[in-house]
Chains A and B, each alone.
Chain A
Amino acid sequence: MSEHAHDHDHAPITDAQGPAAARRARALEQLLVEKGVLRAEEIRAGIDWLVSRTPADGARLVARAWVDPEFKQRLLADARSAALELGLDPGPSPVVVALENTEAVHHMVVCTLCSCYPRALLGPPPAWYKSLPYRSRAVSDPRGVLAEFGLEIHDDVQLRVFDSTADIRYLVIPRRPPGTDELSEEQLAALVTRDSMIGVAQPAAPALA
Chain B
Amino acid sequence: MSYRVGEPVTIADRAHRGHHRTPAYLKGKPGRVERVHAAFRNPETRAYGDDGLPRMPLYLVSFARSDLWPGARASGDHRVYVDVFEHWLEEGK
A168 to chain B, nearest CB (A): 5
A140 lies within 8 A of B72 (CB): yes
What residue in chain B is nearest A170 (Cβ atoms)?
A: B81
- Interface residue? A155 (CB, 8 A): yes
A158 to B77, CA, bound (A): 8
B83 with A166: CB separation less than 8 A: yes
* CB interface residues, B 41-79, toward A, < 8 Å: 43, 58, 60, 62, 68-69, 72, 74-79
- 5 smallest beta-carbon distances between A and B, as pairs: A159-B78, A141-B74, A166-B83, A143-B75, A143-B76
Q: Judge if B23 is at the interface, Cβ distance under 8 Å.
A: yes
A-B contact pairs, 5 of them (CB 8 A): A141-B74, A155-B77, A159-B76, A162-B82, A165-B23
The number of chain A residues touching the other chain, given as a range, is 20 to 34
Cβ of B75 and Cβ of A141 under 8 Å apart?
yes
Nearest-Cβ distance from residue B56 to partner chain A, whole angstroms: 10
Q: Which residues of A contact B25 (CB under 8 A)?
A: 112, 139-140
B80: which A residues are within 8 A, CB to CB? 139, 160-161, 163
**Chain B residues near A161 (CB-CB < 8 A):** 78-81
Given contacts A159-B77, A160-B78, whether A95 and B38 have CB atoms under 8 Å apart is: yes
Complex CA distance for A95 and B38, rounded to whole angstroms: 9
* Residue in chain B with minimal CB distance to A140: B69
Contact B77 A163 (CB under 8 A): no
Measured CB to CB, the nearest residue on chain B to A167 is B40
Query: A: which residues have CB within 8 A of B?
Result: 94-95, 112-113, 139-144, 147, 153, 155, 158-168
Q: Are A142 and B23 in contact (CB under 8 A)?
A: no
Do the beta carbons of B21 and A144 come within 8 Å of each other?
A: no
Q: Given A94-B38, A95-B38, A168-B37: A163 and B23 within 8 A (CB)? A: yes
**C-alpha gap A144/B75 in the complex (Å):** 6
Contacts of B72 in A (CB 8 A): 140-141
CB–CB A153/B40 < 8 A: no
Chain B residue at minimal CB-CB distance from A136: B25
The residue among B40, B76, B85 with the most chain A CB atoms within 10 A of its own CB is: B76
B83:A167 contact, CB within 8 angstroms: yes
Q: Is the CB of B43 within 8 A of A166?
A: yes
The answer to whether B76 and A155 touch across the interface, beta carbons within 8 angstroms, is yes
CB-defined contacts of A139 to chain B, threshold 8 Å: 25, 68, 80
CA distance A112 to B21 in the complex (A): 10
Q: Is A168's CB under 8 angstroms from B78's CB?
A: no
**Once the chains bind, are B38 and A166 in contact (CB under 8 Å)?**
no
